[in-house]
Structure 1
Amino acid sequence: MSVTFNHTIIAAKDREESARFFRELLEVPEAPSWGPFVNVQLSDGVLLQFAEPPVDIQMQHYAFLVDDELFDRAYRRLQDGGVVHWADPQMRRPGEINHEHGGRGVYLKDPAGHAIELITRPYL
């Protein structure tokens, strides 16, 4: 069997709010949830499981490869919603996107403070 990525647990201050943020940003439908998790399922079957841990949340980085049309819609929602975003991971170019690797990219923070990256072309 080949290796594929199946799921990850993402720490959230409010699991419902974080799951809703990702569903709206990535335009994916609600997924069945259970136990301490609120789940978001990506089109390739990968599950993002949001949970509220009893510890301080450490910032993580999550990058999503999206097509140009979804990038346009997501970026428009970021702008319309006044979401702070940057063209670079160092957060030195606010309000911009980048044109790295033959595509476009943007960085933002989710409701729990995780660094989110949307890119239209893979790095490799």
Structure 2
Amino acid sequence: MLGFARTGVGDTGMAFAKARLTLTVPEGGAVLRAHRQGDTTDEITPQHYAFLVAEDDFGTIFARIQQAGLTYWADPSHHRPGEINHNDGGRGAYFDDPDGHRLEILTRPYGSGG
């Protein structure tokens, strides 16, 4: 969905990486686990993951969200379904993974103005 490159398969599942973040998804894709370098915890709690993406990447990712039939929102509280936001002069959208993690794609950093 987000354009991560598959980096391998290990004991915990498939690993995907982009920049310095690695996402591990068990075989079957049931759980999203995000580990930063040096983090050895295995506990999984629903989280909010925001991905700052380029305008072109936003369009590609958002098209995948729509093609997959995922519900998306303009806000993290899920009060504006079927909309994207234009915060700070960019574009943004929220969508949930199957385990309740709130994923966000945005094209402008928080508070950057517009």
TM-score bucket (shorter structure): 0.7 to 0.9
Residue of structure 1 in register with 2:23 after alignment? 48
Q: 1:57 to 1:29 in 2, by over 3 A?
A: closer
Quote how far apart the aligned CAs of 1:100 are: 0.3
Q: From 51, 61, 77, give the equivalent of 2:64.
A: 77
> Which structure 2 segments of 5+ residues have no match?
34-42
State the identity as a percent.
40
State the superposition RMSD in angstroms: 2.1
Letter in 2 for 1:65: L
> Which structure 1 segments of 5+ residues have no match?
1-24
Q: Of Structure 1 and Structure 2, which has the larger fraction of its residues in strand?
A: 2
Number of residue pairs matched by the alignment: 97
How does 1:12-91 map onto structure 2 within 5 Å?
Answer: 25-42=1-18, 44-50=19-25, 58-91=45-78
The TM-score, its normalising length taken from structure 1, stands at 0.69
Given that residues 85 and 93 in structure 2 are in contact (C-alpha distance below 8 angstroms), is that contact kept between their aligned partners in structure 1?
A: yes
The TM-score, its normalising length taken from structure 2, stands at 0.74
Letter in 1 for 2:75: D
Q: Of Structure 1 and Structure 2, which has the larger fraction of its residues in helix?
A: 1
Runs of 4 or more above 3 Å deviation:
50-53
- Larger relative contact order (C-alpha < 8 A, sep ≥ 6)? 1
Quote how far apart the aligned CAs of 1:29 are: 2.2
Within 1, Cα distance between the matches of 2:99 and 2:2? Answer: 17
Residue of structure 2 in register with 1:105 after alignment? 92
Within 2, Cα distance between the matches of 1:36 and 1:73? Answer: 28
Quote how far apart the aligned CAs of 1:57 are: 5.4
Match of 1:26, SS state, is coil
